[in-house]
Amino acid sequence: MLLPSYQDFYTELNNGVSMPLLGLGVYDMYNQEAERAILQALEIGYRLIDTASMYTNEVEVGNAIRQSGIPRQEIFLTTKVNDSDHGYDEALRAFENSQRKLNCEYIDLYLVHWPIKNKRQDTWRALERLYQEGQVRAIGVANYLEPFLDELLPSAAIVPTVNQVEFSPYLFLANLLQRCRGERIVLQAYTPLVRGERFNDPKLLSLAQKYDKTPAQIILRWALQLGVSTIPKSANPKRLQENFDLFDFSISDTDMAYLATFNEDYRIVPSPISML
């Protein structure tokens, strides 16, 4: 029996584009550290790299992708509209700036980073234009809790392909996950490992011992089995490898349900609901 591999954990977005479920987030990585981490991740086998204008490392991300020697079409690249660039014309200019800094042939996924008050609808129209003109392969949103989807979807010409939110067993947004599934929007988890702040949870440690895996590997595998894309951040070579070694085991249905009971509504990042 063949073990599953990274290639088995791709998902088809609602526009037909294929995206890996597991990727590398590069928040708070700069200069040579960012380039090294991305090159190491690509060498390990990661094929999704998630950055943002806000992270101020798009130049380094583009450099690493080109230096890797991996064909561009094998890498799925995401970046995002910065909060200060919301609005129709502003978002179009922001995309041009990101494209220039990344210096890649194209961007796979362009996201609205935060649902900024009074401007998010105009920003979404700009992303729709970019997609319709073929300047980006897919568009989506980030930090869109259900009220923001309620606002966006009735007027949107294009349904977002991805909704990137903070999500973990300790912030298990079950209703949002169900809503996104119903709309054929892939939920993508940032800060999936809660920055290690729950790695000493006895419940999680018990599961790690049962499966002979680390707490991080249990959390990430749980997300993948839910069909949730996940983008853990690390610049540490050992952690990069650990976070990728998820394909030689699976979590039972019983334990998947058990992990869903870990929810504490525990957030690392402030809730986007303040943007309403």
Q: Is the Cβ–Cβ distance between 245 and 214 less than 8 Å?
A: no
Residue 242, both tokens: 């650990």
Count Cβ neighbours within 10 Å for each residue of 142-171 and write b for 16 or more, e otherwise.
bbbbeebbebbeeebebebbbbbbbbbbbb
Beta bridge mates, 171: 168
Integer Cα distance of 176 and 165 in angstroms: 10
C-beta of residue 66 within 8 angstroms of C-beta of residue 39: no
**What type of residue is 274?**
S
The CB-side HSE value for 215 (13 A sphere, CA atoms) comes to 18
- From the candidates 46, 55, 131, 170, which is the catalytic residue? 55
Element (H, E) at 254: helix 253-259
Residue 30 among the catalytic residues: no
Among all residues, which ones are annotated catalytic? 55
